């Protein structure tokens, strides 16, 4: 019996996204091996952490990088760093911010702000979150000497109702505001690891390690300005302040850096082609057995660029019901359902092969076909 069987936990085939509630991505063999190796010896933790962070900066072409326990931890550490830029001596006082000259974090009041609520986490640092109307005049009016930073979410859906990162960052820089970009799920392309910071000029950008990078699920990385990254580090474990709650282990550090190197070094087009082959197998099988329309795309979700398959279920079938049906199979199959804010028709199922192991295509196709054919009876 393996660990999941012992716990009576059913396996799920991931044909959707590296969602946290599916356990994130599947790590590559090399990443798992690196974690096992790291688990075999004690080391000087801070030396290991610094070496891993330095290598992450190098691989992503950023001035500096800091590995933490997820993008959420990255949001909090980034906010703490921006607040303490003028008052570094006060860092250990957080979340008590009365001694800080800068303690306000701006967020843009777009249509989906309350649907994607990760920005609230910056408030755990003691920062006061200021919701700003998303136009240039309101931004200029909101910026004051207490403004520590502005947090942005770069994805066409998240940016609905606000200016894009490309438009906002120059305005914020002109006002002298530090910019933090929550790009947790904005991969691939891998070039986003340096796009927001090096091309657009954001001070910090944050990515999940357990989503598309395929690192340990409990990791994340902050990249960007060295002075701010040093403050993130000072706020983080092993120091006993605010960030002690986000302790990366030696295994996670070793696993993350191995995964990051694999992610960046792999030729993206080769991975896309491999995924497209899997998606085509599913598309052919489903359309042969059910006659429904399918479509291959190359745009991804949330502003990413990657291959996706759309399957158009016959009315009145919906993607949500299809997902419920296939999740109930053994093993379960998680097919992609667009959340309402995407504004997609309810009959569109999407399939992403990012975490689909070779050989799992037929189980995905089979599950979707069974749902359609049973509904037709």
Q: Which of 347, 339, 269 is nearest to 315 (CA)?
A: 347
Q: Does 71 bind ligand PLP (CB under 6 A)?
A: yes
**Residue whose CB is less far from ligand PLP, 120 or 133:** 120
**Residue whose CB is less far from ligand PLP, 100 or 153:** 153
Q: Which two tokens stand for residue 176?
A: 């002298």
CA separation for the pair 368, 225 (Å, rounded):
47
Tell me which DSSP letter residue 182 carries: E
Name the residue with tokens 């079938």.
317
* 50, 203, 80, 147 alpha-carbon torsion, rounded to 10°: 160
Q: What distances in angstroms separate CA 52 from CA 46, 145, 322, 369, one per listed residue?
A: 10, 35, 42, 46
Q: Does 180 bind ligand PLP (CB under 6 A)?
A: no
Tell me which DSSP letter residue 236 carries: B
Site for ligand PLP in 20-39 (CB under 6 A): 20
For β-strands 293-297 and 308-312, DSSP reports them as antiparallel
CA-based Rg of the chain, rounded to a whole angstrom? 22
Q: Shortest Cβ distance from residue 89 to ligand PLP (Å)? A: 29
Answer whether 223's CB lies under 8 Å from 65's CB.
Answer: yes
What is the number of the residue whose Cβ is closest to ligand PLP?
70
Q: Count interface residues toward ligand PLP (CB under 6 A).
A: 13
* 50, 53, 51, 23 alpha-carbon torsion, rounded to 10°: 110
Stretch of residues binding ligand PLP (CB under 6 A), selected from 67-75, 99-107, 161-169, 328-336? 67-75
Q: Does 208 bind ligand PLP (CB under 6 A)?
A: yes
Q: Does 342 bind ligand PLP (CB under 6 A)?
A: no
**Residue whose CB is less far from ligand PLP, 134 or 216:** 216
Q: Does 68 bind ligand PLP (CB under 6 A)?
A: no
Q: Does 118 bind ligand PLP (CB under 6 A)?
A: yes
Neighbouring C-beta atoms of residue 11, cutoff 10 Å? 11
Q: Does 18 bind ligand PLP (CB under 6 A)?
A: no
Among 65, 77, 113, 116, binds ligand PLP (CB under 6 A): 116
Q: Shortest Cβ distance from residue 20 to ligand PLP (Å)? A: 5
Stretch of residues binding ligand PLP (CB under 6 A), selected from 138-146, 178-186, 222-230, 363-371? 178-186
Q: Shortest Cβ distance from residue 141 to ligand PLP (Å)? A: 27
Among 12, 70, 248, 338, binds ligand PLP (CB under 6 A): 70
Q: Does 87 bind ligand PLP (CB under 6 A)?
A: no
Site for ligand PLP in 138-167 (CB under 6 A): 153
H-helix segments, the chain: 3-6, 29-39, 45-60, 71-83, 136-142, 165-174, 192-194, 226-235, 250-265, 268-290, 319-327, 361-376
Q: Does 78 bind ligand PLP (CB under 6 A)?
A: no
Q: Shortest Cβ distance from residue 94 to ligand PLP (Å)? A: 19
Q: Does 185 bind ligand PLP (CB under 6 A)?
A: yes
Stretch of residues binding ligand PLP (CB under 6 A), selected from 25-33, 70-78, 95-103, 358-366? 70-78
Name the residue with tokens 């703490």.
80
Name the residue with tokens 């395929």.
214
Q: Shortest Cβ distance from residue 18 to ligand PLP (Å)? A: 9
Site for ligand PLP in 213-232 (CB under 6 A): 220
Site for ligand PLP in 288-317 (CB under 6 A): none
Neighbouring C-beta atoms of residue 266, cutoff 10 Å? 14
Q: Does 276 bind ligand PLP (CB under 6 A)?
A: no
Among 182, 203, 276, 361, binds ligand PLP (CB under 6 A): 182
For β-strands 348-351 and 308-312, DSSP reports them as antiparallel
Answer whether 151's CB lies under 8 Å from 122's CB.
Answer: yes
Q: Which of 308, 207, 300 is nearest to 260 (CA)?
A: 207
Binding site for ligand PLP (CB under 6 A): 20, 70-72, 116, 118, 153, 182, 184-185, 208, 210, 220
């Amino acid at each position: 019996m393996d660990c999941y069987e012992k716990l009576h936990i059913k396996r799920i085939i991931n044909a959707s996204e590296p969602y946290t509630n599916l356990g994130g991505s599947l790590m590559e063999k090399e990443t798992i091996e690196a974690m096992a190796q790291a688990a075999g010896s004690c080391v000087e933790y801070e030396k290991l952490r610094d070496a891993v962070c330095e290598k992450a900066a190098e691989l992503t072409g950023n001035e500096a990088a800091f590995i933490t326990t997820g993008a959420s931890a990255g949001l909090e550490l980034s906010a703490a760093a921006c607040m303490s830029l003028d008052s570094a001596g006060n860092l250990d006082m957080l979340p008590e911010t009365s001694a800080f000259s800068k303690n306000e974090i701006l967020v843009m009041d777009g249509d989906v702000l309350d649907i994607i609520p990760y920005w609230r986490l910056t408030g755990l640092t003691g920062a006061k979150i200021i919701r700003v109307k998303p136009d240039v005049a309101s931004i200029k009016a909101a910026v004051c000497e207490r403004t520590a930073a502005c947090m942005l979410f770069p994805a066409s859906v998240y940016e609905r109702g606000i200016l894009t990162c490309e438009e906002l960052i120059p305005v914020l820089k002109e006002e002298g505001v530090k910019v933090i970009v929550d790009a947790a799920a904005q991969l691939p392309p891998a070039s986003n690891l340096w796009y927001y910071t090096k091309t657009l000029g954001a001070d910090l950008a944050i990515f999940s390690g357990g989503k598309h990078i395929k690192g340990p699920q409990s990791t994340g990385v902050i990249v960007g300005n060295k002075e701010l990254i040093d403050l993130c580090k000072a706020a983080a474990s092993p120091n006993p302040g605010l960030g002690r709650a986000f302790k990366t282990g030696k295994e996670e550090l070793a696993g993350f850096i191995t995964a990051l190197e694999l992610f960046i070094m792999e030729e993206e087009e080769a991975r896309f082609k491999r995924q497209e082959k899997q998606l085509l197998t599913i598309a052919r099988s489903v359309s042969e057995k059910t006659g429904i329309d399918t479509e291959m795309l190359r745009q991804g979700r949330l502003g990413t660029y990657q291959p996706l398959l759309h399957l158009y279920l016959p009315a009145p079938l919906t993607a949500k019901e299809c997902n419920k049906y296939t999740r109930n199979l053994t093993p379960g199959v998680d097919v992609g359902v667009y959340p309402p804010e995407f504004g997609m028709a309810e009959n569109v199922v999407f399939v992403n092969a990012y975490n689909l192991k070779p050989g799992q295509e037929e189980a995905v196709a089979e599950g979707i076909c069974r749902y359609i054919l049973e509904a037709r009876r």
